[in-house]
Structure 1
Amino acid sequence: DRGVSFDELGVYRLLAQVDDVEGVERFAKDWLGRLIDYDNRRRSDLVLTLSRYLESGGNYEAAAAELSMHRSTVKYRVQRIKEISGHDLADPDTRFNLQLATRVWYTLLAVGRHDAAAPSTAQ
């Protein structure tokens, strides 16, 4: 495994230069808040499912393989994600923001932002 150079980060280079970590966290919670709350209450993995679904370009089979589950389970979860979040996953801007939010979210958790796991105030 080789590291990734700063130049290879693409749009994520912008995040590395942000001083307002709380603002970045708010962005993630604004987009994912309902799913984060649902996952915390139900001990489910809808944010992870959304992340893998988006990373696979919306391909149920590829997401299912990444998550080690059946395609129909991923399809059901994506439907629940749409219902709970209220987001239109057919909209490219929405998909972009959600993909960025999931990456931000997991990065915050990885660097020990324990308050990132707290329930959100999102509607």
Structure 2
Amino acid sequence: MGFVWFQRLIAGYCLLFGILYWVRLIGFYDGPLWRFDLMPVHWQVAAVTLAVFYPFAAIGLWMLASWGPVIWVICAATETVMYFLFPDLYGNRLLIVSSHLVVAVVYAAFRLLIYWQRRRAER
């Protein structure tokens, strides 16, 4: 039951991140690089990709579909590469990178716990 709520909590965060990328794309917020036509090409590619993938990850995680965590991993890997490997282009957002790492570790711990419980039940 805890794993279900964990996935739904992460789905909420994915939906929030997706909305934030869409806000950036449509230029709802007035700030530097907060409109698609004013962004450099590398930001355009990243913002469009994440604006599409994050809501799909949210849907998959909420529905507990097997592809939901896979799409989330794609989003997390994309942002990790953006902010950790290319901080000169995208900025240095170690909080986002570390939050993705924490979510991945907690997800792996849940999966191991579920595996051990199933294995114990088969005996």
| TM-score normalised according to structure 2 size | 0.30
* Higher-Rg member (1/2): 2
Identify, as 1 or 2, the structure richer in helix. 2
Q: What TM-score, normalized to structure 1?
A: 0.30
Q: Using CA pairs under 8 Å that are at least 6 residues apart, name the structure with larger relative contact order, 1 or 2.
A: 1
